[in-house]
């Protein structure tokens, strides 16, 4: 094992200059991608979805500073997102009224500071505890703030919220931020900046102490750090970035309302982060992109998209707790060892039975939906261009046959896949790429 580490260290040293430049290149590529995306996806919907993805990425990354980096499970992260949004909206309105020379691009800072301020207040209370107690306090605080927002009407604007006009602020380079494309670039720029800052934070000694507190807070204490302080600082910084995300959201919608505080919002960011993978920095980014895409696209295809969403989450928790990023990273050493080809063959073999199970499950869910919620429309339904009667026996038989047959085949194939996986791992181990 130590041999492998030495060998890897020496190759890293040999690559020296290139190794240090590679991350910079990656960031440049990301910036280029952000700049080019609107040229590739030109439609109005695509631009809206891309803007939402940018906001979701910041929000999910800020959430992962708690869940993934420091090991704190929060059910109330939307509090800082929502407060950031409200303070940004009020700041914009105030700047317009007082004719202050502040450009719109600076406004998310206000949201960030609002998030930070309230994270300091609420964090002081909640980070005294960790684990389940922390999760419960975060839930309680979220309910508290959510309910208060409906009581304090002068600030939160009651049910309809507070609206604003992003085009009335000081113009830089003649951008008035009326068109969505300009808002997209504003969000993209902030997204890139926040991603870089949050990544840099994971590389600092503080970031490492967060990981230490997550893994074993007692031993972190022995090294001379107070876990409570580390948790508190992580919580405050996470609130800061959540506030920026909220500020961007309020600029995007030109509105802040109490829905921003809802349990749905807090739940979504948790789902996105976990599905993407809390263990890796790219995980929440993947999750935010995927979940935003599904929310906007799946809802056109099926009425019960949230059910699929929930099932996807449960499947992730049960079978891939590392999330998407974890699944991908698992294959890194195998790929470097050149053993991926054999594994891909096994995956291809599993594809058919798993697809059968998925199709069967989708059929059952859609037929249930049709007979339940949409009973008024009659029993004839259409899926994939084929019309059939949801009350007749044949489609149900077919669905159950797909489920059972696919399930049985998947069970058979599982052993084969496990053997292929062990083989590939073995090759990677022999080449000293894994322990």
Partner 1 sequence: MAELILISTLNGVLYGLLLFLMASGLTLIFSMMGVLNFAHASFYMLGAFLGFQISRWAGFWPALILAPVLVGLAGAMVERFGLRNVHKHGHVAELLFTFGLAFVIEELVQIVWGKSPVDFRTPALLDFPAFTVFATNYPAYKLFMLVISIAIFVGLFVMLTHTRIGLIVQAALSHPHMVAHLGHNVPFVFMSVFGVGAALAGIAGVIAGPYLVTQSSMAALLGPILFVVVVVGGLGSLQGALFASLLIGLLQTFAISVNLSLSDIFAGSGFLPQPNTLLGDLWRVTVAQIAPILPYVLLVLVLIFKPTGLFGNRET
Residues contributing to the site for partner 1 (CB under 8 A): 71, 73, 125, 128-129, 131-133, 135-137, 139-141, 143-144, 147-148, 151-155, 263, 267, 270-271, 274, 304, 306-307, 309-311, 313-314, 317-318, 321, 365, 368-369, 372-373
| Closer by beta carbon to partner 1, 306 or else 379 | 306
Kindly state the smallest distance separating residue 57's Cβ from partner 1, in Å: 21
Q: SS3 of 171, please?
A: coil
Distance CA 124, CA 118 (A): 10
Structural Rg of the chain based on CA atoms: 24
Distance CA 242, CA 73 (A): 15
E strand map for 32-94: none
Q: What angle do CA 38, 202, 130 make, to 5 degrees?
A: 115
Distance CA 256, CA 87 (A): 9
Neighbours of 342 (CB within 10 A): 14
Burial of 320 from C-beta contacts in 10 A (0-12 / 13-18 / 19+): middle
Q: Is residue 409 within 8 Å of 353, Cβ to Cβ?
A: yes
What are the counts of helices (DSSP H) followed by strands (DSSP E) for the chain? 17, 4
Alpha helices, DSSP H, located in 254-339? 263-276, 282-301, 305-319, 323-330, 332-336
Structure tokens of 284?
């929440």
Q: Is residue 421 within 8 Å of 333, Cβ to Cβ?
A: no
Q: Residue 198: which H helix or E strand, with range? A: helix 180-203
Q: Residue 380: which H helix or E strand, with range? A: strand 380-383
């Amino acid at each position: 094992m130590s041999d492998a580490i030495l060998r890897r260290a020496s190759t890293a040293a040999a690559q020296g200059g290139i190794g240090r430049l590679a991350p910079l290149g990656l960031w440049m590529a990301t910036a280029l991608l952000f700049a080019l995306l609107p040229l590739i996806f030109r439609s109005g919907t695509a631009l809206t979805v891309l803007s939402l993805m940018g906001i979701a990425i910041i929000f999910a990354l800020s959430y992962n500073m708690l869940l993934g980096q420091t090991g704190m499970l929060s059910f109330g992260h939307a509090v800082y997102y929502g407060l950031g949004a409200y303070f940004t909206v009020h700041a914009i309105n105030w700047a317009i009224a007082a004719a202050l020379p502040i450009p719109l691009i600076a406004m998310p800072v206000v949201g960030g500071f609002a998030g930070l301020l309230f994270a300091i207040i609420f964090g002081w209370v909640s980070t005294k505890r960790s684990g389940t107690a922390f999760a419960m306090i975060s839930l309680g605080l979220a309910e508290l703030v959510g309910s208060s927002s409906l009581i304090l009407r002068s600030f939160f604007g009651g049910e309809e919220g507070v609206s604003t006009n992003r085009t009335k602020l000081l113009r830089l380079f003649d951008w008035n931020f009326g068109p969505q494309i300009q808002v997209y670039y504003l969000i993209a720029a902030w997204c890139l900046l926040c991603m870089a800052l949050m990544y840099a934070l994971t590389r600092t000694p503080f970031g490492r102490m967060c990981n230490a507190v997550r893994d074993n807070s007692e031993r972190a204490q022995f090294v001379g750090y107070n876990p409570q302080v580390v948790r508190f600082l992580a919580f405050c910084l996470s609130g800061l970035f959540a506030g920026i995300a909220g500020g961007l959201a309020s600029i995007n919608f030109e509105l802040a309302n109490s829905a921003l505080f809802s349990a749905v919002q807090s739940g979504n960011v948790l789902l996105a982060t976990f599905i993407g993978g809390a263990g890796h920095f790219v995980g929440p980014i993947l999750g935010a992109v995927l979940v935003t895409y599904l929310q906007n696209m799946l809802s056109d295809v099926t009425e019960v998209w949230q059910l699929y969403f929930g099932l996807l989450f449960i499947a992730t928790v049960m079978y891939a707790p590392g999330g998407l990023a974890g699944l991908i990273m698992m294959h890194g050493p195998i790929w470097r060892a050149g053993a991926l080809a054999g594994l891909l063959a096994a995956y291809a073999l599993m594809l058919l039975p798993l697809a059968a199970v998925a199709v069967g499950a989708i059929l059952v869910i859609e037929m249930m939906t049709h007979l339940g919620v949409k009973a008024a429309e009659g029993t004839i339904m259409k899926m994939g261009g084929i019309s059939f009667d949801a009350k007749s026996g044949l489609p149900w038989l077919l669905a159950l046959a797909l489920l059972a047959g696919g399930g049985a085949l998947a069970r058979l194939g599982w052993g084969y896949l496990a053997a292929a996986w062990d083989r590939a791992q073995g090759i990677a181990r022999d080449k000293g790429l894994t322990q």
